[in-house]
Amino acid sequence: MGSYLIGYTIIGLIIVFVVFSVLVRRGVMFANTPSVRRVFAHPLLHYSLRRLASSLISLVLVIIVTFFLIRLASPADETCTMLFRTPRMSEDVYNLLCDNWKASMGFEGSTIYQLGVFFYKILPLPKLLCISSVDTTTATYTITSCRTFIFDFGRIWNITGFTYGGYVIDYIGPKMGISFEIGIIAVVLEMAIGYPFGILMAKYQNGTFDKIGKAYIISVDAIPGIAYYYIWMALLCYCFKLPTVYEEGNFLSWLPAILTMAFTGCAGIGMWVRRYMLDQFNADYVKFARSKGLSERRILWIHVLRNAIVPLVRTFPTAVLGALLGTYYLENIYAIPGLGQSIMVSINSYDWSLLSAIIIISALITIVAYLLGDIVTAAVDPRISFTKD
């Protein structure tokens, strides 16, 4: 009961905050109170709220599409057959398992009702989710454990090596942790390489380093991603003798995936840093700085770089949060048991609750990352207007 009260209280406070901010912004309340308006009518706050509203619309569309795709991909009766039907299983036990699965998945009632249940499970409201065990001799099932969740992503039904009927969140959590450990190191490394890479290319435009850098960037774009990953695998694992398979606790086995991600990502960062810096080199304020006699080094590091980095600030939240999702190809190549690999596992196992959870979590993280990117960019770039989208 306490978790329900806390959950509803937090949601209520958020709604009150948004409504109060809008009313203050429009002058309905505290129109003549500068101290209140300075906080609740701040342009950046309302810019963020507008972006949040558009992000919620995108999330709703993702949820609707996910709902219909999963139901069209495999109807309930066919999925029951693939999940539970065995030659020696009695009809009563099969029907019990199938009915239990349909109830858990929300396959009961009209399509509109099912969609409403699907939305309710994902809404950030406390919900009680229970696991039950089946007695195949008496064709009955009993509830073994119950837990309260803010998001109800359902139960695991057919994943090898995982508790039958276990909670999806218990499966996804550790997977995201593994993906994040590898991904965040790769993100830091690709930025540490990519930004100096782009700066040096811009500084020595049309020089030897710039030509080599452009050739590398073109090669990354031209070679299909999966082929590019295997090229790096050959170099790192067979030339430098690094492990080919991920091992928990063995950092050397993480390096092939980390380095492949970093060397791939740094090409894109370097390209955009170079492009933005060259644009700034031709700006009027740079010409003015040169006319005042400022050195090229000072112009580069104090003026050009600071302005060129602003458009790339939005990529920081995307890169950090994207590390939670893992990389499907790399995780399969190096047998990393992360979230990216779980996509194919859920499809092969016909575990639609796990697949829908991965899709929705991925969409939510992506939307939040872009939202934070917009807000951070608006906060640091004075050229952003808060009055127009």
pTM summary value: 0.79
Question: Residues 249-268, buried b or exposed e (16+ Cβ, 10 A)?
Answer: eeeebbbbbbbbbbbbbbbb
Q: What is the average per-residue pLDDT within 208-218?
A: 92
Helix/strand/coil for 170: helix
Residues 291, 92: Cα–Cα separation, whole Å: 88
Q: Which residues pair with 36 in a beta bridge?
A: none
What's residue 213's pLDDT? 92
pLDDT of 387 above 60: no
Q: Which of 84-88, 131-135, 258-262 shows the lowest mean pLDDT across its residues?
A: 131-135
Question: Dihedral through CA 37, CA 43, CA 46, CA 48, nearest 10?
Answer: -140
- pLDDT, tens digit, 9 for 90 and up, residues 72-125: 877 777 888 877 777 777 788 788 878 878 887 888 788 888 888 888 888 877
pLDDT of 212 above 90: yes
Q: Average pLDDT, whole number, for the chain?
A: 81
Q: What is the DSSP letter of 349?
A: T
What's residue 52's pLDDT? 81
Percent of the chain, pLDDT > 70? Answer: 91
pLDDT of 47 above 60: yes
What's residue 389's pLDDT? 45
**Neighbour count for residue 290 (Cβ, 10 Å):** 13
What's residue 7's pLDDT? 63
- pLDDT, tens digit, 9 for 90 and up, residues 305-333: 777 777 677 777 778 887 887 788 888 88
